[in-house]
Amino acid sequence: MRAKASARKRSTSDDVSNIGACGWAELSSLWDKIGGQPRKRIAGWSSGKAFEHLILRAFQLSGAEIIWPYAVNLHGAVVEQIDGMVLLDGIACMVEAKDQQANVNVEPLAKLRNQLLRRPAGVIGCVFSSSGFTDPAVTLAHYMAPHAILLWQGPEIGFLLERQDFADALRRKYRVLMQHGKPDFDPRAGVL
């Protein structure tokens, strides 16, 4: 008789429990592993999950309300996988997190735009890339109205982990988006 495999598939609740115990120091340590070159699998995490949970936990530690990753069902079928949501000071953000070595191209932005079309007009998108974005992706983000998408990339994420404040960065990025139409404002820069 064959022995049953003792390993089980990781669940979202496992990932939430894993990251929920992390403070800023642990998030910074996790970021060092995520941003390392060449990319390596992070023990205890499914591919890409450490990054998306790091982002959400950083917002939670900054005082934002978050919604952990979830699936959307329609007529009994999963139609969307949402990486999470951030709610802060009346700003509602749908999160898309991409942990990959290459810069993110237009496809995740187009996917997120389609997901935003099913939400109230006040919901914006936030695409987080552990590396960066291609020029076409940045250009596309400038023309996403009325469903705005903010771009967040590796160097600014590392900076915000050091500062321990993602909430203020969201407020600033959102204000610059409203005032100047710039979706890729870098919070390391001074106020425009």
pLDDT tens by residue, the chain, 192 residues: 444 443 444 456 677 878 888 999 999 999 998 875 556 678 778 778 999 999 999 999 999 999 999 999 999 999 999 999 999 999 999 999 999 989 999 999 999 999 999 999 999 999 999 999 999 999 999 998 778 999 999 999 999 999 999 999 999 999 999 999 999 999 998 643
Domains observed in the chain: 12-180 (3.40.1350.10)
| Total-model pTM | 0.89
Cis peptide before 108 (omega within 30 of 0): no
Angle between helices 24-34 and 154-163 (to 10 degrees): 160
* pLDDT tens-digit series, residues 28-77: 999 998 875 556 678 778 778 999 999 999 999 999 999 999 999 999 99
CA angle (35, 41, 43) in 5-degree steps: 110
Strand residue runs (E) in 11-134: 65-67, 70-74, 77-82, 85-88, 91-98, 123-129
49 CB neighbour count, 10 Å cutoff? 21
Q: With contact defined as beta carbons under 8 Å apart, do 111 and 96 qualify?
A: yes
